Amino acid sequence: MDNYKDLIKHLDIEPHELLMVGNSLKSDIVPILELGGYGVYIPFHVTWQHEYHDEDEIKNKRFYKVNNIKELLELPFIKR
């Protein structure tokens, strides 16, 4: 999580201004949500056991799940 904190500081932004898109709930999405950012999960058909995190445990209004990257454009906070 320190790397994400450093990134936020380097970019000189607030956590709620950061959007992480990734295929690992454990490494990509959960840490950003815990910092106050947005996380978009795009599942992959294979996940390392090390990266497993039960998505049903994530109760966060800034968490989104899409099936493919094209669906990012449909999310309510994406401006076109």
Which pTM was predicted? 0.84
pLDDT of residue 52: 66
Give the pLDDT confidence score for residue 57 in this predicted structure. 80
pLDDT digits (tens, 9 = 90+) for 25-80: 999 999 999 999 999 999 987 776 767 677 778 899 999 999 999 999 999 887 76
pLDDT confidence tier of residue 1, bands split at 50, 70 and 90: confident
CA of 9: how far to CAs of 1, 6, 63, in Å?
13, 5, 22
Q: What is the CATH number of domain 2-74?
A: 3.40.50.1000
For residues 29 and 54, give the distance between their C-alpha atoms in angstroms, rounded to a whole number.
12
* Nearest CA among 9, 10, 7, 32 for reference residue 21: 32
